[in-house]
Every structure is written in structure tokens, then in C-alpha cells.
Amino acid sequence: MLETMKKEWFSNIRGDLLAGTVVALALIPEAIAFSIIAGVDPKVGLYASFCIAVIVAFTGGRPGMISAATGAMALLMVTLVKEHGLEYLLAATLLTGVFQIGAGFLKLGSLMRFVSRSVVTGFVNALAILIFMAQLPELTDVTWHVYAMTAAGLGIIYLFPLLPKIGKVVPSPLVCIISMTIVSILLGLDIRTVGDMGELPDTLPVFLWPDVPLTFETLSIIFPYSIGLAVVGLLESMMTATIVDDLTDTPSDKNRECKAQGIANIGAGLLGGMAGCAMIGQSVINVKSGGRGRLSTFVAGLFLLIMVVFLDQWIKQIPMAALVAVMIMVSIGTFSWDSIRNLKKHPLSTNIVMVATVAVVVGTHNLALGVLVGVLLASLFFANKIGRFMLVKNESTGEGQRSYRVIGQVFFASSDQFVDAFDFREVLEHVTIDLTDAHFWDITAVSALDKVVIKFRREGTDVKVIGLNEASSTIVDRFGVHDKPEEVEKMMAGH
């Protein structure tokens, strides 16, 4: 226990402290922007980001991953806030946390194994594109100073690490933010700053129980929003955890992460914050700045609160151009450039799944819908591919006798092919169906076997089914009717 705690918290102190500081600076304008999207005061997003990051640092299943208020969640809150107000949003945030904790106990995080690599790649590429697109408003209808500052920031980010010794000690995004802020102040540049995003809070968060009536009507109002928030939040968190797993080559406990997200959202709701989840952009910033442990997530949340409450006069002067440079770096680093190079190498179905996921996420800004489309397409392509591997061979074993040998997987996608492989017009006395090398997966496959056996028997042919493995035999015995005369009679009467 102590060894694990030491490894997760104190094995990379300097890297985690510096990375957490960079993330905290990048979180400020994001949290304010997401609050504006949701239609609430900026402090709602800032308090949420502080609370969620700190709680997840202790409870999360993925060390080094950053969780806070996010745009995907903010978009789902707009209608609720507009129609019912902030108090109902806080209540919905609490219920969201309850749902997510329940998902953790039900081990729904394990469902990530059904998300294919092509869907994850599409999700990553779509997020990279959305992160870049989110910076465009800061680069539209602005003076040349903004472009110069952004270009200089990118230069620092990519060139500073090349410097001997110091380039490896201090994260280049932090150097970018500090140096660009100093330049902006010294030159007195009239450019957009963090202070222009919204008013920063000047007090620490306090415990708040949502001021809503505890009635069924309240539950009926917040329930659909909480379900949506819980699903989107867990989906984005699980996908982000998978990406950080790849970046750090370390595993994560996704069911624990589900519970952690729920606990964090309950904490956020009780401190006047909105619901949030893992953030792929900030998580990538953290990893690329050297953050690996829980300490980086804790520092990000704690420093965020300290900076906005006690250092607000300095934080307000950070030019948005510096943060835009950091987010462009995140976008470039997040995008899977290999996926473009591998388009000619990978199967067409894989490319279609990846591109479809990107297109839906970017087109709708709905992460859950994009992943759902990707998973459905991947499942359909997989079922079609496996269905083609089913083969039925037949040979004559004597006069009026034939043996059919089934090889492969029989399920809903291959059941028609299975039935079509038998010749019911041939006059036969005995037919043997050998299923030694086959596996029956579902009731559609069992129904196909029933159809074949009953059709042969209708023609006066004696049919013998052999070789069923234990799993197939169980499902055939339970749902099959060809060896149950009374069931066959009912089925025939139905026809």
C-alpha cells in the first residue's frame, strides 16, 4: 500500500509540480469558456474544475489524467440552466455523480474493451480537430500582434526543449505562458487576456445544498439531464484514460475511474460547481509537460484555485495568444498522424470506422454520438467478416446418405449462409450434420439449425446432429425445437 502510494504520488515530484502548474494555467480560460457555454457564472466552472481535479487525484483509476469542467458536458446543461436555473443544475450534478458511482460498481468501465482501436483513433483525431477549431475565435478579426505572439509562443514551445540541460528541466508550455505574459505587459500590448474572458472569483467555494424541492417533479426534471451527463462524462473519461494509457505505457482501472468521476461530481455539486469529466487536451498537456502521477492532478486543481482567488491580478494579464499556442501544440500532439499515413495499409473497413467517427464528432460536437456510430460500424464490419468464415462441406457416405460438415461460427450474420448450404431437393434417407468444428452463438443460429433439420425430416429424411461442443449444446438444448415433437407441431401449426 505504502509502496503504491509512494509510486503514484512522490516518484516524479518535480515533473508533477511543473506539469500541474501548466495545466492549472490552461484550465482557467477553458473553465470560464465552458461556464459561458452552459449559461452560468464563471466561478461555477472554476470551482468545479478545482473540486473535480483534487478529488480525482485521490480517487481516480488513472494517475496523471486531468478531470475538470468540460465543453462536452457544458453543452448538455444549456437547456436545463435556461429553463430551471443554477440550483437545478447543481441537483442534476449530484444525481450525475450517483449514476456514475453506480456504473463503477456495475463494472461498466470494462465495456471499453468493445471499443476498437479505429474508434479510439477517430475519437482522438476528432478531439484534436475540435481543440484546434476552438482556438480560431481567438485568431479571427485580431491585430497582427496576436498572430506574432501566437507564433512566438509556438516557437518557444517547440524550440525550448532543444536547449541543453534547461530545456529538459522546465516544461516549454510554462515558459511560453510566463514569457509571453512578461512581453505583453512590458510592451503594453492591447490584446485579449484571461481577464477579458470573465470575472474571476474572489472567495473560496463554500458548501451548498441545492435549493430545490425534494419532490418527484424535481427528479423528473433533472433525471434525463443527469443520465446524459453521466454517459457522456464516463465515455469521455474512459476514452481519455485509454489515450493516457497509450501515452505513458501504463494501465488504468477504468471501473475505479467511473466511481471517482461520480464522487468528484457529487463534490462539485456540493461546492457550487457544474458536472465535469476527464479532459483529453489538459491530460495531454500534463503528460507532455512531464506529469505522470496523482500529484500533478492535485497540483493542477489546487493551483487553479489559489491563482484565481489570490493571484487574480496577475492571472488576468496572461494573453490569450499564449494559451492558444499551448492548445495548438496540444492539437498537433494529439492528432494521430500515423492514421493518415496508414490509410493505404489498413483495411477499408478500419478506415471507414475511423473517418466516420471523426466526421460525426466534428460535425455534431457530440462525443458520445461519434463513438456510438464508430462502435456500431466496427461491430457490423466485424460481424460481416466473421460471418464469411463459416463453411459447410458435404460428401456422400453411401447410397441415399450424405454428411454435412459445418466449420466456423454460426450466428445472426451467417445463419442464412448456413441454411443455404444444404440441398433439400436431393432425395436422401440419412443426413448427418457434423458440428464438431462449429460454434453456435445465438438463438438465430439455433433457429437456423431447427429449420434445416425440420426441412429434411419433412422430406422423409432421417437427420442426425453430432459433434456439438458443450457451449453450443447448452444453447441448442435450451432454445432448439427440432428434438421436441410438441414444439415442432406448434411451429408447423403456426405456418
In a structure prediction context, what are the per-residue pLDDT tens digits for the chain, which is 495 residues long? 678 788 889 888 999 999 999 899 888 878 887 887 788 888 888 999 999 999 999 999 899 999 999 877 887 888 899 889 899 999 999 999 999 999 999 888 877 777 788 888 888 888 788 878 878 888 888 889 899 999 999 999 888 888 877 766 777 888 888 899 999 999 888 888 888 877 777 788 888 899 899 899 999 999 999 998 998 888 888 888 988 888 888 888 989 999 999 999 999 999 999 999 998 888 988 998 888 899 999 999 999 999 888 888 888 888 889 888 888 887 888 788 888 888 888 888 889 999 999 999 888 877 778 888 988 998 888 888 887 788 899 998 888 899 999 999 898 888 889 999 998 888 889 999 999 999 998 999 999 998 999 899 888 899 999 998 988 888 888 887 766 665 555 555 555
Q: How many domains does the chain have?
A: 2
Q: Residue 187: is it exposed, middle or buried by C-beta count within 10 angstroms (0-12/13-18/19+)?
A: exposed
Same domain, 66 and 162: yes
Distances (CA, A) of 290 to 169, 244, 283, 302: 9, 13, 11, 18
pLDDT value for 362: 87
Same domain, 119 and 141: yes
Please tell me the distance from the alpha carbon of residue 154 to that of residue 1, in angstroms, as a whole number. 42
Same domain, 396 and 373: no
Residue 88 belongs to a domain: yes
Same domain, 116 and 206: yes
Same domain, 222 and 338: yes
DSSP state letter for 107 = T
Same domain, 349 and 430: no
Same domain, 313 and 288: yes
pLDDT value for 493: 52
DSSP state letter for 319 = B
Nearest to 47 by CA among 301, 220, 290: 301
Domain containing 457: what range? 391-494
Question: What are the cell numbers at 43?
Answer: 466561478
The three-state secondary structure class of 99 is helix
Residue 129 belongs to a domain: yes
Do residues 139 and 153 lie in contact, with contact meaning Cβ atoms separated by under 8 Å? Answer: no
How many Cβ atoms are within 10 Å of 165's Cβ, its own excluded? Answer: 6
Same domain, 314 and 244: yes
For the full predicted model, state whether its pTM sits above 0.75.
no
Same domain, 417 and 359: no
Residue 157 belongs to a domain: yes
Same domain, 172 and 315: yes
Same domain, 106 and 57: yes
Same domain, 360 and 433: no
Q: Give the type of residue at 474.
A: T
